[in-house]
Every structure is written in C-alpha cells, then in structure tokens.
Structure 1
Amino acid sequence: MTRIVITGAGNVDLTRKILSDLFSAPELAGALRVALHDVDPGRLATAEALARRLDTESGAHARIEAAAARPALLDGADFVICQFDVGGYDALLRDLEIPRRYGLRQTLGDTIGVGGVFRALRTIPEMLALAADMARRCPDAWLLTYTDPMAALCWAVRAGSPLRNVAGLCHAVRDTHALLADLVGRELAEIDFRTAGVTHQAFVLRFESGGRSLYPDLDPLIAGDDDVRSEIYRRFGHYPTESSEHAAEYVPWFLPHESEVRRLGLPVDEALRRGARKLDAYERLRGALASGEPLLAQWKHFEMASEVIHSMVTGTPREVYLTLPNEGLIDNLPPAACVEVPARVDGAGVRPVPIGALPVQLAALNRTYLNVVELTVTAALEQRRSAVYQAVMLDPATSAALPPAAIEALCDELIAAHGALLPPGLRGGRR
C-alpha cells in the first residue's frame, strides 16, 4: 500500500481536494494508507472526519489514521504533503500591521518582502524538524510542500537537512497557462508552453501553436490593461506567472508609490482578507460535515500533489511544474537555489527538464529575488540577526520605501513580536 502523510491537514480545503482526487481514482482503491497530522486538535479532528467522509463517499477503502504526534506517522511513508502555516492568522497580522506603521505597504506578504522574510524565519525551523524526522523514518519518501515562501523553504531543507527528495508545488504556472489560453481563445491542448524561473516569479518563455508565437496575438488584447503583470510583460518581454498583487511585492516600482497603487488598483493588506475568508470556509466545511452534506469534490484537474502521487504510483506520465534544486536546470541562476521548472513524473520518479539560460533580463529579476532568499536562509540556518537585516535591506520593495535604520528597527520589532516562533539565536540581540 502507498502511505501518504499530510502534515498541516487542518488546512481542510486543500486536504479535501487532494483526498477527493486520490480516493476517486479507481486504480488506487484499497491501496492507500493516509495519516493526518496537525498541531491544532480541533482542526485535526475536522480533517479526520473529512477524510473518513470522503472515503465513504468514494468507496476508496483507504486506511486512515490521525495523530497530534508526527514522528511515528512518518514510519514507512512514501509521500509527505506539507501545508502548514506557522503562527497562523495572528502571525500574518503582525507581519502586515507592524510594517504598515513604518509606512510599508504589502499585499500578501508571503514570499519575499519583510512579510515573506519573517514567514520564512518562522517556518524554516519547522520544515527542518520535519525533514530530520523524514530522514530518520522515511528517507526515500518525497516531501511535497505547498508551504510558502517556497523558494526559501526548499533551499533551507536542501542546505540544512539530509533529505534529498523535496519538491515545491504552486498553482501559478498552471493557472497562467490557462489564463493565456483563454485570452487568445484557444484550448490548452493546442498550445506549446515552456515556463521557468523561481516560484512566484517564473516567466512564459514559449507560448506557441504550430511553431508560431502567440505573443503577437496577446499584445492587442492586453494593450490597455493597467496591471502589474502586463507592465512587467511589456517591459521584460515574457509574461510572468504570478498575479499582480503578488508580483508587485517583488519589484521596487509599484507599492512604494501611492500613485501606482491607485492606478493599478493594488489590494494592500489583501492577505488579511484572504485569511478571513479561509477561516470562514473552514467553519462552513465543519457545518457541512455536521449536516451530512456530500463533500467529495469533482475537479476538472487533479490537485498538484495528487498528480505527482498518482503518476509515481500508477506509472501514468505527466508533466508537472515543480520547484526543485537547481542542479543544472537554469544555467544563469545560483546552483544552490531551488527553481521552478517542468518535470516529467511517472513510475520512474521525477525528472526535471533542463532549461538552459534564461533571457538575461529575466535572470536578473530572479537573482534579485534570490538574493533575499539566500540571506533569509542564511539568517535561519546560522541564526544571525545581521543576515535578517541584510535580507530585508536587499528586498526591492522594502528598500525603495525605507532607509536602513528604519529597516533595522522594523526587523527588531518583528523579532520581538514573533518571539518564540523564531530561531532562538535571532532573539538574543544584534549579531
């Protein structure tokens, strides 16, 4: 049987999608063992009730267990799906409200920027603990992580643990391909895409049909668009994979300027609204469980973790975009980084597709992003507060808005506010 562990299973919307996919696959009936973990007892109980309901509705005959203690659940695991959120909504609130007092605007605050840096600093210790447990108990298992900031977390796992099989999963590439196909009025199957870069800042390098570029078809359709994605595309020549509210945080040209925020309609503090909607969705799902409402989801596409697991278990070949170690994949990005590329997934495993060199302007944008990522990982692994300051000072949007002394004061205040969620060495003063 295939053993799947979901840690952070209390993120029940994603748990529902993944298990609906796997339980609905007839070739996996009777062949799955699912172990659920969450640090919140209430959410863990909800996730377990959900899993058992989905198993009943699908007739999958899966073996399901749940526990608050994670290590023993990992014994014999083939796949570990990570979707946790260290600190939850309260930590997110601090990441947005404290910088706002310094005059710093953020939209989602989960990738780079000061919010992304501190989300990484909270999460890297937990990721390393999970990776260490896996290295002892299921060293050949795949860690499939949805947790942001993905580029930093995957880099930290590779640099700070013996675990080798780690892949990040993000919907942005798949969603962008669907968006572009829709914009030019074509079916996805008609279009030849090739996309690569870094999670939340990849670029569509090839957008063709019958050997002809579709970019000339796209240009008049978005000529009047005032949004960050279109601005970056027009200036850098390739369409970016991340939404405008995300993409605005990775560059210095938009959020620091009130006129640009208004012109582009950027949703400052959007993460708080999304967080509130997630809390509401959780309560709605609990109500659906209590009322006996059917919960097995029927989706047009498999969830990404489901695709990877299904392909590796059944041998069904797929191309999936994953964040993987840059071992000869993108020539002009740092070898230690983790990059987002297509990968062929089947019964033989995961085989990423080498991209070669990115266009120089795209590599330059990615390297700016990865400077922040590398220093954030350094800060967490070496527990060095000076590297926290340096990561945030090198962040494009933050450095465009604040001088160095204010950045250091902001970091000090966030370190004090997050307290025990951060690596202990960061809490002891300047170093």
Structure 2
Amino acid sequence: MHQLGSRSIEEPPRVKIGYVGGGSQGWAHTLINDLAQCRDIAGTVALYDVDYESAADNAELGTRVVERESADGDWTFEAVRELDDALADADVVVCSIQDPPEETFVHDIDLPKQYGIHQPVADTVGPGGILRSMRAIPQYREIAATVRERCPDAWVINYTNPMTVCTRTLYEEFPDIKAIGLCHEVFKHQELFAEIAERHLEEATDVAREEIRVNVKGINHFTWIDEARWRGRDLYRFLDDELEARRPLNGFEPGSMADASYWVNNYRVSFDLYDRFGLLAAAGDRHLVEFVPWYLALDDPAELHRWGIRFTPSSARLPDGDGPTRTERYLSGDETFDLSQSGEELVDIVRALLGIEPVETHLNYPNEGQVSNLPEGAVVETNALLTGDDVSPIAAGSLPREVRSMVLTHVDDQETLVEAGFEGDLDRAFRAFLNDPLVTIDRDAAADLFAELVEREREYLTAWNLEDADVLAT
C-alpha cells in the first residue's frame, strides 16, 4: 500500500470529490486524515449532508487540518446545501450515509428481539438489514440519478451498509455508472494470516497486513478465503493447526463477554465455518452469525458469548446524548485530531484511478464471472486491480456447492429487494423478509414484525407503496 506523504510530484492532478453524507463523524474524518497526508493529488471536497451544519463543521475541521504545518495535502473543503452542487463535475463521489439511528436503527434491533430474533449488527441481512435496504434503495437511486446528470464519468465509492444492496442499486438505476463498494472486514483476516505467518514460518517477522495475498470470493460480510500467501509461501496449510489450537471453538462462558468491546472478534465463528465447509469465512464473527441461523437460535442472548462475541445494543448506535459531536469536540479543542495511518484505501484507490500507482485490493463490484457460480450482475466481493480509470475484477473461481447454497439465498434476497424497491412493492419485500434465514418465526408473527417495523419507520419509506400493501392490511 502507498504510504501517505511518501512521494510528491510538481503539479499534482486536481480533482473534485463530492461527499454524500459529508456530516459523517467517521468516514469523513478518515478522508480528511488521509487527504491531509497525500501530496500527489489535490483539489476540492464538497461535503453534502441533509444535516448541513454537520457538513459545515466537517468543512471547517478539514480546513484546519490541512493548514497544519505537519499536513502535506493541498485541499479545500466546502459544505454545500444541495446534492446537485456536491456532485456537479465531480471526479470522485464518496457515499457514507445513515438515517437517524434513534428513528430507524434502534427499531431494527429492538423490535425483532421481542419476537426472539437476535442480531449482533442488524445492518446487512436479517430483519434489520432488510429494513435498512428498504430505506437505502430510494436514496441510492437518487444518488445514481444525480451522478448520471451531473458527473456521469465520476467514480462512485460506497461505504454505506448494506453494501451489496446500495452498490447494486447504483447500477440498476444507472447501468453505465462506475461504482465500487469498499469494506475493511477482510483486512482483519489478512492481519490474522500475518500472525499465522509469524507463528509458523521462522523467517516471518513483523509481517504487515499488506504483505498477505488472499483469494476472496462471496458477498459483503459473507466473504470466503480459500488461499493465503506471504511472499509466495502457502499459509492456508496452517489453518488445521490453528483450528486445533482454538478448540473448543465455542468454549467461552456465557456472560464472559459482558464487558468486552461491542466489536470484539476472536475468529471462533470464522474457524467453525472453516471446520464445517473447508473455507475460511472472512468477516468479523458478529457479521457472520447473521447469515446462518444456527448461531443465533438462542434461549438466552448471553449464550452468544460462547463464540467470543457479544450483541451490540441499540444504545450503542445512538449519539452521545445531547453533548457535542466528535467534530465539535475537535473544533473546540476538547479533543485532538491526530494525523495517523488509517489503513483505509480510499485515497490509494483515487490515486490508482488517476494512473499514479496501481492498487490490488478486495472490493464489491458486479459479477462478470469473477465468482463463476454466482449470478452475473449480482454484486460480489472479490479482488480487483485498479489502475488508470479502470477496475479489472480478478477471477476468484467458484464456491463449493454447500457454501454457494448459503450465499445464493442472500444474493436472491438482495436482488429481490432491489427489484421490489424499484417497483415500490412492499409485499415483494416481505417475501424477501420471509426468506431470510434469521426469520425463523411463523408467517403470521413475521407479518406482524414486518408491519410494525414499517409503521415505526414509515417516514423513511415514502417511496414504497404502503397504501396497497397486503402485508399491512392484515
């Protein structure tokens, strides 16, 4: 990976980045951090958010950061009030958006619990992922339509979950769009293999994540690795030893994770899926358990602790009370914005697409055969080479039949949700809801849960035909 600030050129290319969700307290700060340290591209970042004041605060923060003596980047940050203005003549569009969690995400997590459906994350699949998809599809149609009108040649880089549905919607609305989805879950497994290399290879010391080459295939948060190498050395052959060293995989005690980080990951589910199917599942365990029903069939939610993970409560999704946001704390001086090596690849990818330095990484992109036995056009996660205004997916091969059957269920549900979203067909979305493996309750209870979620979040579902939906009438 390119090290930020490591090289400069006399006249760096100038680009415009249109940021949708520019009031972000997370990804926007990462972008500010990385641009401030990059010498070989320059330009303007137009920050758009439905919360204009948050975007304006981030614009001020970005300006202050790049003005530091320690910063190398030549960037201007500005907040804009209209999506059209943010994307007009943009070279790159970045998306990281989220509806207010207290009005949406809290219901996505808490209501299914009342029906016995537990979700550690609730942003990709399961009831929470489906409702989030239903909210996101109209938003991403608008983004894609604006790209078509205002910057049709721009590259669109999406960070928003549900990653697959959001990226797929961009292509459905504007088939000629140039869009990719980025997720950092696989990075953790590259770090795992770096540790494995150091444990098993005498010559491997201080192995960096970027030195690990993995073959990635699947869909976002349900991705699989069947090959891992360090400097040409096979690391996959050590997985059986690693598996045995971790047994019993579900050996943590219920309650033992109560004080752990919500995002703790001990790779126990990942290795359990390897033990079952012979491929290493390459996402955090808290994501993986939502794709298959058996881990979350719990009488007591604390039983999930046996796998070394815990549930993220809805309270963790809420802002920190009525206090200042993170951006406001940076601006007031109550908290310091320290420049760091973020490990994220957005700036590297922009550099690659400008022809400065190629990048090979994993990303989400329509299937052109890179996963040979998943449907063409469905958004899949595999490795790709990015260079000179081009993305070339790298063939990852096929998934074993037993793994493909699990993945395909979710591909079909995601495709159904996108089609239903373009039709505004709530009853069809409910059929995808019924088909989700986590919806193990009977049909009537599922209809009640779905209807209650829709009613609670009705103001965010205005693009759907709610008046004629049979599922709401019953």
1:410 matched to which residue of 2? Answer: 449
Hey, what's the Cα distance between the residues in 1 that align with 2:467 and 2:339?
Answer: 48
1:286 aligns with 2:328: yes
Q: Who is 1:218 aligned against?
A: 239
Q: Residues 240-389 of structure 1 correspond to what in structure 2 (within 5 A)?
A: 240-258=281-299, 261-268=304-311, 270=312, 272-276=314-318, 283-291=325-333, 295-299=337-341, 301=343, 303-389=344-430
Question: Secondary structure of the residue that 2:93 maps to in structure 1?
Answer: strand
How many angstroms does 1:189 deviate by? Answer: 5.7
Residue range with higher mean Cα deviation, 231-240 or 258-267 = 258-267
| C-alpha distance 355-221 of structure 1, shift in aligned 2 (>3 A) | closer
User: Which amino acid is 1:328 matched to?
Assistant: G
Deviates more, 1:322-331 or 1:285-294: 285-294
Secondary structure, in 3 states, of the residue corresponding to 1:250?
coil
1:425 aligns with 2:425: no
Residue 212 of structure 1: how far off its partner (Å): 5.3
Confirm or deny: 8 A CA contact 1:201 1:240 kept in the other structure: yes
Residue 144 (str. 1) matches residue 157 (str. 2) = yes
Structure 2 Cα separation of the partners of residues 179 and 198 of structure 1: 20
Mark the CA change 1:408 to 1:167 in structure 2 (over 3 Å): closer, same or farther: same
Residues of 1 paired with 2:159 and 2:421: CA distance?
20
For residue 104 of structure 1, what is the aligned residue in structure 2? Answer: 117
Q: Does 1:11 align with 2:32?
A: no
For 1:255 and 1:266, the matched residues in 2 are separated by 12
1:4 touches 1:80 (CA, 8 Å); kept in 2?
yes
Measured in 1, the distance between the counterparts of 2:47 and 2:342 equals 25
Instruction: Measure the CA separation in 2 of the matches of 1:373 and 1:271.
Output: 25
Q: 1:280/1:311 Cα in 2 relative to 1: closer, same or farther (>3 Å)?
A: farther
Amino acid at match of 1:325: P
Equivalent of 1:67, from 39, 58, 80? 80
More helix by share: 1
* CA distance in structure 1 between the partners assigned to 2:352 and 2:446 by the alignment: 46
1:360 deviates by 2.1
Work out the CA distance in 1 between the residues paired with 2:335 and 2:287: 35
Q: Which deviations, in whole Å up to 9, do the C-alpha atoms of 1:137-195 show, x marking residues without a partner?
A: 10010110000001111122212334521110100112211122224425246543211
Letter of the 2:64 partner, please give it.
Answer: R
1:56 to 64, 67, 70: 67
Q: Could you list the runs of 5+ residues in structure 1 that have no partner in the other structure? A: none
Give 3-state SS (helix, strand or coil) of 2:148's partner.
helix
Aligned to 1:119: 132
The answer to whether the aligner puts 1:204 opposite 2:217 as a matched pair is: no
Q: Give the structure, 1 or 2, with the largest relative contact order (CA under 8 Å, sep 6 or more).
A: 1
The Cα of 1:19 is off from its aligned counterpart by 2.2
Alpha-carbon deviations, 1:290-315, whole Å to 9, x = none?
Answer: 128652522163x2222211222252
3-state SS in 1 of match to 2:47: strand
Q: 1 CA distance for matches of 2:363 and 2:221?
A: 12
**Residues 407/310 of structure 1: CA separation in 2 closer, same or farther (3 Å cut):** same
* SS of corresponding position for 1:397: coil
**Rounded Cα–Cα distance in structure 1 between residues aligned with 2:242 and 2:328:** 43
Of residues 73-82 and 211-220 in structure 1, the stretch that sits farther from structure 2 once superposed is 211-220
* SS, match of residue 249 in structure 1: coil
- Write the distance in 2 (CA, Å) between the matches of 1:209 and 1:360: 28
The total of aligned residue pairs comes to: 425
Q: CA deviation at 1:211?
A: 5.4
CA shift at 1:89, angstroms? 3.6
Q: TM-score, normalised on structure 2? A: 0.84
1:12 alignment partner, SS class: coil
CA contact (8 A) 1:17 1:297 kept: no
Which one of the candidate residues 190, 194, 216 is aligned to 2:215? Answer: 194
Measured in 2, the distance between the counterparts of 1:278 and 1:337 equals 38
Does the 8 A contact of 1:125 with 1:423 survive in 2?
no
Q: Residue 112 of structure 1: CA displacement?
A: 0.7
SS at match of 2:97: coil
| Equivalent residues of 1:383, 1:423 under 8 A apart | no
Q: Does the CA contact (< 8 Å) of 2:61 and 2:330 recur in 1?
A: no
Letter in 2 for 1:425: W
Which deviations, in whole Å up to 9, do the C-alpha atoms of 1:1-41 show, x marking residues without a partner?
Answer: 2110111111132112112212311222xx31111111113
Letter in 1 for 2:279: H
Question: Structure 2 counterpart of 1:376, which letter?
Answer: L
CA distance in 2, matches of 1:162, 1:315: 27
Residues 276-333 of structure 1 show CA distances to partners (whole Å, capped at 9, x for unaligned) of 47889973442222128652522163x2222211222252011121100112221110
Residue aligned with 2:396, SS = coil
Question: Unaligned 5+ residue runs, structure 2?
Answer: 1-13, 199-203, 251-267
Name whichever of 390-399 and 254-263 sits farther off.
254-263
* Residue in 1 that maps onto 2:55: 44
Q: Answer whether contact 1:236 1:362 (CA < 8 A) is retained.
A: yes
Residue by residue over 1:333-361, the C-alpha shift from the partner in whole angstroms, topping out at 9 and shown as x without a partner, is: 01131001111112242211122322222
> CA 1:293–1:95 in structure 2 vs 1: closer, same or farther (change >3 Å)?
closer
How far the C-alpha of 1:86 sits from its partner, in A, is: 2.3
Q: Alpha carbons of 1:271 and 1:33: their partners in 2 closer, same or farther (altered >3 Å)? A: farther
CA contact (8 A) 1:36 1:67 kept: yes
Paired position in structure 1 for 2:143: 130
Question: Sequence identity of aligned pairs in percent?
Answer: 28
User: Do 1:5 and 1:79's aligned partners in 2 also have CA atoms closer than 8 Å?
Assistant: yes
Q: Does the Cα contact within 8 Å between 2:370 and 2:395 map onto a contact in 1?
A: yes
Q: 1:94 to 1:304 in 2, by over 3 A?
A: same
How big is the shift at 1:273? 4.9
